Structure 1
Amino acid sequence: MLTLIRRTLRVPLATGAAGDGRAAARQLDSALLQVGFKASKELLGHVEGLAQPTAYAKTIVDAVRGLVGDDVQHNPYFKDFPHGVPDTVEFWADCVRDALARRVPDFHEIGRGNLLALPRYGRVQHTYEEMLAAHDELLPSIKDHLTVLQLGGTLEEETRRLFLELATSPTPLNEADLTLLAELAEQTGELPDPIPVRENRAVVNAARLARGAAPVVDTVTDVLRLACQASGGDVTLLEPARLRSFRRPERRLLLAALDSTVEESPGKLGDVLKHREQWKRLGERLHPHEHEQWPHAQDVFAVARKQKTVRSLAGRVEIAFQDSDIRKAAEILSTAPGMLVRQVDRLLRHGTKEDVPHIVDAISKAAPETSGRVLCSLLEHLENRTAPDAARVFANRSRRAWITEDSRPPLDQEAVESITAVLEDEILRRLPEVSELTVDPDLLDVTVPLSGKASEEGFGVLPRGSRTWVEGELLRFFTYWRQTEMRTDYDLTAALLGPDLDFQGHVSWTNYHHDGAYYSGDLTDASEGATEFIDIPRDASTSRFVVPQVNVYSGEGFNEVAESMFGFMTRDGDQRGKPFEPSTVRARSAMRGTGRVALPVVFERAGDGWVATWLHLYLRGASWGNRIETNRGVLRETIAGVLSRKYFTVARLAELIRRKSNQDGAKLHLTLDNLLDITASVDNARP
């Protein structure tokens, strides 16, 4: 139930006997307020009617505490933080004097500047209770935000509802949601229709396979994804999976699915070449030679072993490009609408002005058969292609970033406008008809979620490129991590940039305060969890941009630690309170990426507050010793690339909806909750 509440902000109905739970309901409401939440009238009424609601109420509180990161103890190095933070060099000198007074035996390490050899350095010198005693109680503020928890249906109904939401999502899910989908699929045993994202389909099919049910597939790659998921491997096929041995009934189901798919469309054998090595490994597990009743399945593995030759669609397209026959390339691609849309930029770059009408015509025919999120992605791409980008920022499915200069020639303006018109017409056809549209103002700069891979699991988290207003006199961000086995040192850093993204200074373990900003102290061991904070007072700091980053200095990476998170809080200057106050948390995201430097968000000064732009990026970094001093250049390029890009936002979507408005349509209030429903309608309204 914890996961359901955190994921949906809906609380399943309790099944206990009726009684008088009014006292527990009052306690629940009070406990939720302390964490920044409030129970709806229906939820409180439900708790009031329970005879023994204590355990039920505790589960609710535990769920929201974990959502904002209050399920662990956040104890900074300096217990008085943000007060009492010394000068960096003075603090180091005090640590050296303390070590000499204790007659630490390893003087050579101290002489070489190894701070870890100092007994006082990197280890909290006080208890969590002593830290709490050093801080006054948090004073309430009229600016405090409250998130309302709604009452849901039964546990079974809420489980099924979440399963259907994830399984039928029009966008690819992130790693956490894919794992949750797999767990729910094992419980429900249901096969929703449609399942537009193939990764989600493979997860559901794997659960069906475990129960002996036939998978639902329409490409050979669907079968390979299913085999990888069933083996605990990478369903995205980006990383080779170590395939397990399948039981005989499972082998029959997989081979039968392959056979029917190829028999229906022999051209799909061309897809085998893209993952040829994985197919060879799968053939060793399925023993297709033992099953002559499925000859088309045997063809799949014959192609993988190069015993049978087929030319893939991608290969035919490459030949056309090599021959500079752009019209032929567009014609071949027309048989795969999604692939054609993804190749539009290349077609325009290599084609002549005379080729443009043929490309536009091909797009016009393919658009009705193409996924809505792919159309929206191309629309966003073209809006950024009439002028060079400040920098090209690529992010893979693990959010690992790669940055390079934009050396591509800009696309012709007229060609871009022609294709944009085709895309907009098709998207307009799929959008709902409304007579009146209202949009929450805070949503206008939120990017439409075209992929869950561009975000993280958490609370108050938005997709990459989304901009949100942050108010409050003090901006405080934090990182928490807990190591698994190896001693692990993460470092929270804030880069302070000027209007032109010029480097003006930083706050980190090498510089405890700068330009009004303060660092809470360096922790170098997280066997029981560790938290670092940085304060940015709005009036004291003069920097235009503040870029928090989390560096893996040593030890386990973000995917290896037991737990890691980043978040930020806001509060007024007179609110006081302990360093971590859950009710002031505005956002909290998990950190799970393959790089060694995390860039969660960038803050830009705007009026009497800040505008936060979500990044969700990880830089490769070094295997050891990552510091802000060594990655300043790539940091600037990354921020420039993200901030200069035009994203497909809610404001752009609202503009298209208004263009289709009529007198007979229904009224529509666009919120964050129904944004995915609109995205799904665009994706599913194909003829």
Structure 2
Amino acid sequence: MSQRLESMVIRHTHRVPRPEGPAGDGARAARRFDAALMSVGFKLSAELLANLSELAEESVVASAVRTLDTVRELVGDHVQHNTYFIDFPARVPDTFDFWMECIVDALLDGASRENTLAGLRAGTVDLLTLPKYGNYQHTYQQMLAAHDELIAAAGDRVTTLHLGGPLETEVTALYLALAGSTTPLGEQGIADLGTLAGHCADGPQPDAIPVRENRALINAARLQVGAGPQVDTVTDVLRLACALAGGDVSLVEPTRFRSVPRGLRRALLACLDGLVAAAPAKLADVGAHREQFKRLGERLHPHEYPQWPHAAEVFAVARGEQEARSFDSRVEGLLAAGDVTGATRLLATAPGKLFRALDRLLCTGSTDEQRAAVLAAAEQVAPQISGRVLLSVREHLGNRTGDARHGRLFVNRFGGAWAAPDRRQALPDSVRSRLIATLDAETRRRLPTPGHLLVDPEVLDVALPLSGRASAAGLGVLPRGSRSRIDGELLRFFVYWKQTARTTDYDLSALLLDASYETVDWLSYTALTRAGGEHSGDITDAPEGASEFINLRLGAVRGASIVPQVYIYAGEGFHEVAESFFGFMLREGEQQGQPFEARTVRMKSELRGPGRVALPVAFVREDDGAWYAHWLHFYLKGEPSGNRVEENQLSVGTLLRGVMQRDYLTVRHLVDLMAERATTTTRWEGGQVPAEPVTYLGLERPADLHPDSVVITPENLRDLIPG
């Protein structure tokens, strides 16, 4: 368990918990450890190297083994990345020539000859029936032998690992950070919090748990150690029951409730009874999750516990035996009657709902008096709104410019995305400006006084992580809407997958678009050598894991955008396979090396969405001639099977247009708000940092920061969102 916790700390913080062991001369082992790390693009900080050097050699080696396992998985180097074409990117054949070679091979194979001849007579040949197609023709070791060693370049990635505190101190700090997050966590974060909550149930707890899903996981851990759960709505109790059953605490997917032990039954029913007894209006929340409450009631048997009659009312409402009009239905009734002012007064009692309905209220209001009432209510309740909602509404207003040329971009919680024309009624400029001023003033009030604010300019265009679901676990991954410059002559992206139980075929493709988002060209298994690049070859079965690569010379690319895509042609989805991830590398023109070289990897992102087409990132050549990564994290629905880039050109182009036209709220916005109360430095000479404590914002922590500094990097960027 301690190794798992240590790995968690390294993944989330890039800190190695202070190694324990007897003192000794571990300098030689520490240097070997540092060299091994550098081969995969990591290195030890000077402080960590010095600490390890003072330990006995066996302690250094033990720490090195654990840490190397973690960082290799973080960058995708824990698996073998083979290629179909052994010399890739050299000597990749023309697509038609390769297919003809596979057909000739099948005709020479007695077992497949007749089927191939029959297909030729009919005018079609199924590539998947050809023995040579889709399966590795050489071992991983043979592929390695065909490639020269990578020549190091100044542009290779180097990620520094820093010295942390004792393991338990680091674990507690990570638990408190995740549990107290002001924004929802991603899938990996939720899983890690569940583990940490059980380990830390008896220790320090966060002052507040703003995210309901987080609260459910922590409540489940608290119940297991005999502590009382923290709940204030009946939906909190339902989430808690889902957590205890190992189900979906977000309540999107139905949970299969099993027999509940008597002690937990009593605890859940007591919670429900106390909530409804204190505030009967809370029964109105039952309707939103009626079916799940009915299923839970079947397992809790509330009729066996007459001492908690109010708990029984919850399930009576779920079954339709008792009426409890929902809050939303009351609001809808007022709006249907044209009473915008009345709806605003009602919504003001639920400030979060009011802010989420502001646009609708302002557009529905037909008089200046109605709009003034909405604005006044928003200004009054703004101090009660969570920082995440304040910033979400601020981003929304930033895109409500009324420019008919700009469309609307819709993204659901699963990463499903689509674009459409914007036909909404325009908001008056005066209304929009007044709201923006209110939101900015309230956000500025909540932000800390940072003292000396030290900012790496490269972090300014990183989108604020208003939801962990707008990103993915991995290395170098930024939230959806972020923009980062890429430097290098060769761009190579890759996908790896390993099927769980049935044949699974993922296809890596790249669509090239012009400045109008029209298709220029593409690379895929049907176009192996086009667009100034090469495809590594199609793999159609991955029982032991499989990789595909696309190599592009950025200087030779025609068009303004490159959109890598991962298509599920057949088999298991992204959430069903044993493992799947996407990433990209950057190389200098003279660098050779293996198809996959860990220290050239700039990003590795887990693929775990529900769609059949993944769009992790797009590369766009902007007006200055440089290329920039624009982070997407989209999962398109696609078809159940047979997805190909040829059928998705129009939808991908339309979607990218919507992304590029949207203004995302970035770190720059919060820096500008804090700047009035801080000494701000965005560049510093010779890499020297101030000697005094600072608040640092950047992509990676620099060396020699004062130990009392506040450090914000992509790993904990959520800490920047005010509560």
TM interval, shorter chain, is: over 0.9
Quote the offset at 1:207 in angstroms: 1.4
**Could you tell me the TM-score, scaled by structure 2's length?**
0.92
Instruction: Tell me if 1:101 matches 2:140.
Output: no
Aligned residue in 2 for 1:28: 33
**Alignment of structure 1 residues 251-290 onto 2, 5 Å:** 251-290=265-304
* Correspondence for 1:574 among 590, 599, 602: 590
Instruction: Tell me if 1:370 matches 2:385.
Output: yes
**Alignment of structure 1 residues 430-509 onto 2, 5 Å:** 430-434=446-450, 436-509=452-525
Aligned residue in 2 for 1:116: 128
**Alignment of structure 1 residues 28-427 onto 2, 5 Å:** 28-51=33-56, 52=58, 53-103=60-110, 104-105=112-113, 106-107=115-116, 110-111=119-120, 112-189=124-201, 190=203, 191-354=205-368, 355-387=370-402, 388=404, 390-427=406-443
Deviations 1:568-617 (A, max 9, x none): 00010101111100000000000000000000000012446410000000
Aligned residue in 1 for 2:708: none
AA of the residue aligned to 1:566: F
* Correspondence for 2:16 among 11, 14, 17: 11
Quote the offset at 1:526 in angstroms: 0.7
Deviations 1:398-438 (A, max 9, x none): 22224433332222222111111111111111112345533
Q: Could you tell me how far apart the structure 2 residues matched to 1:383 and 1:467 are?
A: 17
Identity of aligned residues (%): 50
Instruction: Tell me if 1:545 matches 2:552.
Output: no
Is the partner of 2:538 in helix, strand or coil?
coil
Aligned residue in 2 for 1:650: 667
AA of the residue aligned to 2:138: H
Alpha-carbon distance change, 608 to 58 in structure 1, aligned in 2, over 3 angstroms: farther
Aligned residue in 2 for 1:671: 698
Q: Could you tell me how far apart the structure 2 residues matched to 1:240 and 1:390 are?
A: 37
AA of the residue aligned to 1:259: D
Alpha-carbon distance change, 143 to 23 in structure 1, aligned in 2, over 3 angstroms: same
Query: Does structure 2 retain, via aligned residues, the 8 Å contact 1:391–1:637?
Result: no
Query: Does structure 1 retain, via aligned residues, the 8 Å contact 2:116–2:125?
Result: no
The size of the alignment, in residue pairs, is: 683
Aligned residue in 2 for 1:636: 653
Q: Could you tell me how far apart the structure 2 residues matched to 1:675 and 1:587 are?
A: 15
Is the partner of 2:311 in helix, strand or coil?
helix
Query: Does structure 2 retain, via aligned residues, the 8 Å contact 1:251–1:286?
Result: yes
Query: Does structure 1 retain, via aligned residues, the 8 Å contact 2:565–2:615?
Result: yes
RMSD over aligned CA atoms reads 1.9
Query: Does structure 1 retain, via aligned residues, the 8 Å contact 2:712–2:720?
Result: no
Alpha-carbon distance change, 61 to 435 in structure 1, aligned in 2, over 3 angstroms: closer
Quote the offset at 1:682 in angstroms: 5.2
**Alignment of structure 1 residues 591-602 onto 2, 5 Å:** 591-602=607-618
AA of the residue aligned to 2:141: E
Query: Does structure 2 retain, via aligned residues, the 8 Å contact 1:461–1:588?
Result: yes
Query: Does structure 2 retain, via aligned residues, the 8 Å contact 1:110–1:117?
Result: no
Query: Does structure 2 retain, via aligned residues, the 8 Å contact 1:448–1:675?
Result: no
AA of the residue aligned to 1:552: I
Q: Could you tell me how far apart the structure 2 residues matched to 1:612 and 1:302 are?
A: 53
Deviations 1:320-372 (A, max 9, x none): 11111111111110000001000011111211241111111010111101100
Quote the offset at 1:660 in angstroms: 4.6
Is the partner of 1:513 in helix, strand or coil?
coil
**Could you tell me the TM-score, scaled by structure 1's length?**
0.96
Quote the offset at 1:304 in angstroms: 1.6
Quote the offset at 1:647 in angstroms: 0.7
Quote the offset at 1:133 in angstroms: 1.3
Q: Could you tell me how far apart the structure 1 residues matched to 2:601 and 2:223 are?
A: 42
Gaps of 5+ in 2: 1-5, 681-691, 700-710
Q: Could you tell me how far apart the structure 2 residues matched to 1:322 and 1:216 are?
A: 37
Of residues 127-136 and 546-555 in structure 1, the stretch that sits farther from structure 2 once superposed is 127-136
Is the partner of 1:653 in helix, strand or coil?
helix
